[in-house]
């Protein structure tokens, strides 16, 4: 049959044989070219495999034990042996490459092989239970590297910020260290020369002229400023004064400084001239003056010294209206009903608002009683301070508003007023407390008073058990105020489910020393009170 087939092929046409041979040669050339490319790729792969096998052999020679994979297992016969070398023939490399592919397909569940550094220890195992020893060293190294980079970047940022802040400070204060320019130096020399031209002192004629001006006009006009300072400084003062008045007038026209605002800067009250602290709603025609003149007995306010002088010549009041309910020495207290003496109480509220921030009552004075403390001398009873009190207080407030005049502050009169208000509460058999909110000075005065009351009570107390209710009943101080004062003094403790009051002897000794130094001149004597509670309270 084979002979027949060959004969049949040979008996075919010559042209067909030539065409077949040309196609066969083209296919052979194509196949040979593709085989050459595959051989080239296989040769490169074999070179890489041979290099890796040599590295593994070197690691095995360094260690007596057989080399292990990153999983800790012995190398397999198919994947970890020396599979190629540069001198191996092409057919052998093809066979080994095919065997490697088969082994990879069989061990697909294993992780891919990675190349390691020569110093890597293949016997290293992770001590963590359940770890397969894959990549732990590299992970830790990367994390440490990142953390160090983060710290380095944060340090760099801090250094940059610090440097930037120093530069800003240097730029901000650079003008302080700059040397003056030539123009500034010439101006400074010119000013010093102008100031040297002024006479060192006033002549006798000039002094007499200044004295006459001061006696005739007093504080109503600006004093004479000639020859007091240099012409240059006087001119600067005049310019600043004119500019300030212009700016104030502009603000007033724009409505930013409304008419009737706190333009009252000072008041003339008796022999004192007092600076005001806050705005008080006096009538507009009086508020724009800047200074008010008041009668210290009837509290009427006036526009000028002349009107006040005429009023004092005709005023018959020498003490507040109302009933005098307390007198000891030169200290007296008058009870004034807001309904009976309405004008006097309104003037008293307007006066108090100049020195109190939280006061809101000015004209509705009928529901209140006013207790005015005075100090008597040959000319009359001078106003020291006062406190007001509601006739019917739902919350048992014994003080609605309290004030000590500025010229009598820090002399013990504030505590006398507070003590007098609690004395009235004791007579009424009630527990009292001041109305909130208290002003800053009022809170300081009340805290000091409550502290003295508690220390005096503890000094006289001889028992072992004490009650807040008993202290409140004897002192007429609200229990809330007593507890807050004990806490501020660190005398109230909680121990084993009970509240304990600590008797601090050091505070009591300090209070005794202050009492002996102060004396008993600024205290309220309960026996000097002649008063019965009004009806309806």
**Distance between alpha carbon 199 and the CA centroid of its chain, in Å?**
53
Q: What whole-number distance in Å separates Cα of residue 370 and Cα of residue 348?
A: 9
Q: Give the Cα-Cα-Cα angle 226, 229, 233 (nearest 5 degrees).
A: 105
Q: Two tokens at 202?
A: 């006033």
Instruction: Choose the catalytic residue: 136, 435, 452, 515.
Output: 435
| Residues with Cβ within 8 Å of residue 263, at least 6 apart in sequence | 287, 288, 289, 290
The phi and psi torsions of 393 (rounded to 5 degrees) equal: -100, 120
| Residues with Cβ within 8 Å of residue 100, at least 6 apart in sequence | 49, 78, 79, 83
Q: What whole-number distance in Å separates Cα of residue 105 and Cα of residue 120?
A: 27
The phi and psi torsions of 400 (rounded to 5 degrees) equal: -100, -40
Q: What whole-number distance in Å separates Cα of residue 399 and Cα of residue 477?
A: 12
| Tokens 């004093």, located at residue | 223
- Can you say whether residue 248 is alpha, beta or left, with left for phi > 0 and alpha for psi between -120 and 50 degrees? alpha
Using alpha carbons, select from 107, 81, 113 the residue that is nearest to residue 96. 81
User: DSSP letter string over 32-96?
Assistant: HHHHHHHHHHHHHHHHHHHHHHHHHHHHHHHSSSPP--TTSPPPPTTTSS----TTS-HHHHHHH
Instruction: Report helix, strand or coil for 355.
Output: coil
How many alpha carbons fall within 13 Å on the CB side of residue 487?
8
Using alpha carbons, select from 326, 293, 329 the residue that is nearest to residue 312. 293
222 among known catalytic residues: no
Q: What whole-number distance in Å separates Cα of residue 425 and Cα of residue 367?
A: 18
Q: What whole-number distance in Å separates Cα of residue 361 and Cα of residue 380?
A: 28
Task: Give the DSSP H/E element, type plus range, for residue 152.
Answer: helix 136-172
Q: What whole-number distance in Å separates Cα of residue 47 and Cα of residue 84?
A: 7
Q: Two tokens at 184?
A: 């500034």
* Burial class of residue 270, CB neighbours in 10 A (0-12, 13-18, 19+): middle
Q: Alpha helix locations (H) across 268-409?
A: 284-287, 305-314, 342-353
Q: Which residues are catalytic?
A: 435
């Amino acid at each position: 049959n084979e002979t027949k087939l060959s004969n049949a092929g040979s008996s075919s046409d010559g042209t067909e044989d030539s065409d077949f041979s040309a196609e066969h040669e083209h296919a052979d050339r194509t196949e040979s070219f593709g085989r050459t490319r595959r051989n080239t790729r296989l040769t490169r792969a074999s070179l890489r495999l041979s290099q890796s096998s040599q590295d593994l052999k070197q690691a095995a020679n360094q260690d007596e034990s057989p080399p292990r994979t990153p999983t800790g297992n012995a190398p397999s016969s198919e994947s970890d042996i020396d599979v190629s070398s540069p001198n191996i023939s092409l057919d052998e490399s093809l066979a080994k490459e095919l065997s490697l592919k088969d082994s990879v397909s069989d061990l697909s569940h294993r992780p891919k092989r990675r190349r390691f550094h020569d110093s890597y220890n293949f016997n290293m195992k992770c001590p963590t239970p359940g770890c397969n020893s894959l990549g732990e060293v590299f992970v830790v190294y990367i994390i440490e590297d990142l953390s160090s980079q983060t710290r380095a970047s944060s340090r760099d940022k801090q250094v940059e910020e610090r440097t930037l802040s120093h530069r800003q400070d240097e730029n901000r204060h650079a003008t302080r260290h700059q040397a003056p320019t030539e123009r500034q130096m010439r101006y400074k020399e010119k000013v010093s020369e102008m100031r040297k031209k002024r006479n060192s002192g006033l002549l006798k004629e000039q002094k007499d002229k200044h004295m006459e001006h001061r006696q005739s006009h007093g504080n109503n006009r600006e004093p004479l400023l000639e020859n007091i300072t240099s012409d240059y400084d006087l001119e600067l003062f005049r310019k600043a004064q004119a500019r300030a008045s212009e700016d104030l007038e502009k603000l007033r026209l724009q409505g930013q400084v409304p008419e009737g605002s706190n333009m009252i800067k000072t008041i003339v009250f008796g022999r004192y001239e007092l600076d005001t602290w806050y705005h008080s709603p006096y009538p507009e025609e009086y508020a724009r003056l800047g200074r008010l003149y008041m009668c210290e007995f009837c509290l009427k306010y006036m526009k000028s010294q002349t009107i006040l002088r005429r009023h004092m010549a005709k005023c018959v009041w020498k003490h507040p209206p109302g009933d005098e309910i307390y007198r000891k020495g030169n200290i007296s207290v008058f009870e004034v009903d807001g309904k009976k003496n309405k004008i006097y109480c309104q003037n008293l509220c307007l006066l108090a608002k100049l020195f109190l921030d939280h006061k809101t009552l000015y004209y509705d004075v009928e529901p209140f009683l006013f207790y005015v403390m005075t100090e008597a001398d040959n000319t009359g009873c001078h106003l020291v301070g006062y406190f007001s009190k509601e006739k019917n207080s739902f919350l048992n407030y014994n003080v609605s508003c309290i004030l000590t005049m500025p010229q009598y502050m820090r002399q013990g009169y504030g505590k006398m007023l507070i003590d007098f208000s609690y004395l009235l509460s004791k007579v009424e058999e009630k527990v009292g407390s001041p109305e909130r909110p208290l002003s800053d000075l009022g809170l300081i005065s009340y805290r000091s008073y409550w502290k003295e009351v508690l220390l005096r009570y503890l000094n006289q107390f001889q028992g072992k058990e004490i009650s807040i209710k008993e202290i409140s009943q004897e002192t007429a101080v609200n229990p809330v105020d007593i507890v807050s004062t004990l806490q501020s003094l660190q005398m109230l403790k909680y121990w084993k489910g009970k509240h304990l009051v600590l008797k601090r002897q050091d505070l009591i000794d300090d209070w005794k020393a202050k009492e002996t130094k102060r004396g008993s001149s600024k205290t309220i004597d309960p026996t000097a009170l002649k008063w019965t509670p009004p009806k309806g309270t």
